[in-house]
Amino acid sequence: MVTPLMLAAVVVATSIAAALVALLLLSSWPNAGRRKPALARVDGSLEQAVFLFDDKDLVDATGTARELLGAIPGPGSEWARLSGYLSQRLRGFDAEMRSLAERGELALRDASGDLRVRAEWLGQLARLTVTDLSAEGQGVLVDALSHKAQESELAALRDTLAAAPVLIWRTDDQGDVVWANHAYLDAVAEQRDDGEDTLTWPVPALFPLAGVAGDTPRRQVLAPIGERAALWFDCHSQRLPNGIVHYALPADAAVKAEGSLREFVQTLSKTFAHLPIGLAIFDRQRQLALFNPALVDLTGAEVEFLSARPTLHAFLDRLRERQVIPEPKDYASWRQQMMDLEKQASRGLYEDTWTLPSGQTYHVVGRPHPDGAVAFLLEDITAEITLTRRFRSEIELGQAVVDTVEEAIVVFSPAGELILSNSAYDTLWGVEPALTLGKVTVVDSIRRWQEVSKPDPAFGDIRDFVLAMEERAAWTADLRLLGGDVLVCRVVPLPGGATLVAFARPPVARPPLRRGRRIRRGDHMVRGAAVV
């Protein structure tokens, strides 16, 4: 028999089953507009960086603290890296930490108020708590890929700066070093002589005179240490929003090259100082780059004027004022002549003799040099020209004297070349040796003699005598011309191996010489005869 209680139980069970089926159907029904799952809520309280040091040895640290140490580049212990990092942001950090044992507790903040450091003295240990106030109390959500890319770029930049062979550092407005790369820190360690390996911040400034930001680099030197020579650097500085960054590029090669060039120029200057030839070297801008004392003596230009590095045209104008250059008819032709001089000298074609109004004579040569430079050499050849003129005058005088001799004379050198003859010789044999192209030898001369003479063995003897090198003695011979005339030939050895050959007609008998006596009769002169 079914009771009402049983019916009620069946109804309740059926309702529960229907509800369960409905819930099951709803949960399995596809829902395209379902919301995306939200990111998990991040706790706003960030872990602080806490360090525990026993003197300068790290005893313990939180995870954030160890991450911070891993992100601080540079050599040295954990304390050295952390001290360097905090000293760059907290002025006087090292001095404050030295007094921690006496004071027991310290609280420091940076100038911007974003970084706080709390230090506590725990008997033999020191605990440092570093807090970033700008991120305190808030969760910072960073995309994982972006964070990884930033870390990769930061690591690449750190590796680049660490491997840079140049010294790089940053200074604040007070000139203190607030950051430096490995090369700079290594240089600081090498310069120290206190024997300690730990660096304290701010590190010493290796180049106090590096200066402010500018386009012109400043050359600085690091003093030599031990057997190491001095190191030279070209320091470049660049202004940044929060300080100045400096770059020290090695300049040892440039300094060595400049020193070698300076020594070379000094050596040349000392060498040129003893030369009697004036030297003036102009660079590619045609400014005087080098001169020697002889140039001052030859041109009369002041040392102050030459030391001021005048241009080539100014130098030539000064020579014109000093009358040390030939004076042209007008100034326009003078300027054109100077332009031609420069062009010819740059091509290595200029060579001239300047005859000055003072009577002096200069030999001027222009020669091109590498890189477009031009060198001028001035030599005083007045004595040489005077001596040459004197020799030429004496030679002309001797030739005139020889030409007055009636005997035909010709002189041959030891090599058999004709070196002298007179007008009587030219007339007798119908030749002009002075106008003959090339050298006239004794063989050429004998060939001409034989053309107008009858055969005679004396011609061969003359040739052998002229070319002989042994001791010789004068001798004579009679030669007969084709016309029947007879010539007396004298062959005489001369000093130095030369030979004189003279031709003369036989003397003709002459009546005795008479000496006249002058008798004055009135205003007329008459010659009386008197026998000598």
Q: Return the structure tokens found at 511.
A: 């009546």
Q: Is the pLDDT of residue 361 over 50?
A: yes
d(CA 336, CA 342): 10
At 45, is the pLDDT very low, low, confident or very high (cuts 50, 70, 90)? very low
More confident residue, 16 or 124: 124
Does domain 389-504 correspond to CATH entry 3.40.630.20? no
Mean pLDDT of 403-410: 91
- CA dihedral 11→15→16→21, nearest 10 degrees, is 140
In angstroms and rounded to an integer, the radius of gyration of the C-alpha atoms of the chain is: 56
Mean pLDDT of 57-86: 81
More confident residue, 520 or 7: 7
Q: Return the structure tokens found at 21.
A: 């089926």
Q: Is the pLDDT of residue 284 over 90?
A: no
**Between the CA of residue 16 and those of 4, 25, 35, what are the distances in Å?**
19, 14, 30
CB 109, CB 119: distance < 8 Å: no
Q: Is the model's pTM score more than 0.75?
A: no
Mean pLDDT of 60-66: 86
d(CA 163, CA 165): 6
State the CB neighbour count (10 A cutoff) for residue 494.
13
Q: Is the pLDDT of residue 273 over 90?
A: no
Using one digit for the tens of pLDDT, what is the confidence trace for 508-532?
655 555 544 444 444 444 434 333 3
Instruction: Measure CA 415 to chain center.
Output: 54
Kindly report the average pLDDT of the chain as a whole number.
Answer: 78
More confident residue, 474 or 270: 474
Does domain 277-380 correspond to CATH entry 3.30.450.20? yes
CATH number of 49-135, picked from 2.40.128, 2.60.120, 3.30.450, 1.20.58: 3.30.450
What is the pLDDT, as a whole number, of residue 531? 36
d(CA 479, CA 501): 13
Using one digit for the tens of pLDDT, what is the confidence trace for 136-171?
554 444 455 566 667 778 778 878 887 888 888 888
Torsional sign, CA 439, 440, 442, 446? positive
More confident residue, 127 or 272: 127
More confident residue, 379 or 333: 379
Segments of 161-209 assigned E as strands: 167-171, 177-180
Same topology, domains 49-135 and 277-380? Answer is yes
Bridge-based pairing state of the strands 475-480 and 214-222:
unpaired
Nearest to 280 by CA among 213, 374, 180, 215: 374
Mean pLDDT of 482-490: 90
- For 499, the enclosing helix (H) or strand (E) is strand 499-504
State the CB neighbour count (10 A cutoff) for residue 429.
19
What is the greatest pairwise CA distance in the chain? 221
d(CA 350, CA 393): 30
What is the pLDDT, as a whole number, of residue 23? 60
Mean pLDDT of 47-52: 82
Mean pLDDT of 17-37: 52
Mean pLDDT of 272-276: 81
What is the pLDDT, as a whole number, of residue 226? 75
User: Averaging pLDDT over each range in 108-112, 138-142, 373-377, which range is the top one?
Assistant: 373-377
**Strand, helix or coil at 229?**
coil
H-assigned helices in 235-277? 252-273
Q: Is the pLDDT of residue 84 over 70?
A: yes
What is the pLDDT, as a whole number, of residue 516? 43
d(CA 341, CA 334): 10
Residue with the two structure tokens 């070349």: 417
Does domain 148-250 correspond to CATH entry 3.30.450? yes
Nearest to 290 by CA among 276, 274, 320, 310: 310
* For the chain, counts of helices (H) and of strands (E): 16, 22
CB 30, CB 43: distance < 8 Å: no
**Between the CA of residue 124 and those of 57, 119, 177, 264, 315, what are the distances in Å?**
12, 13, 32, 66, 82
At 443, is the pLDDT very low, low, confident or very high (cuts 50, 70, 90)? very high
Residue with the two structure tokens 């005598």: 465
- Side-chain-facing half-sphere of 422: CA atoms under 13 Å: 19
d(CA 132, CA 65): 12
Q: Which residues contact 288 (CB under 8 A, 6 or more apart)?
A: 280, 281, 282, 306, 309, 310, 311, 312, 315
What is the pLDDT, as a whole number, of residue 43? 41
| Domain boundaries, given as residue ranges, for the chain | 49-135, 148-250, 277-380, 389-504
Bridge-based pairing state of the strands 125-132 and 49-54:
antiparallel
What is the pLDDT, as a whole number, of residue 33? 42
Q: Is the pLDDT of residue 131 over 70?
A: yes
CB 189, CB 199: distance < 8 Å: yes
Q: What percent of the chain has pLDDT over 90?
A: 13
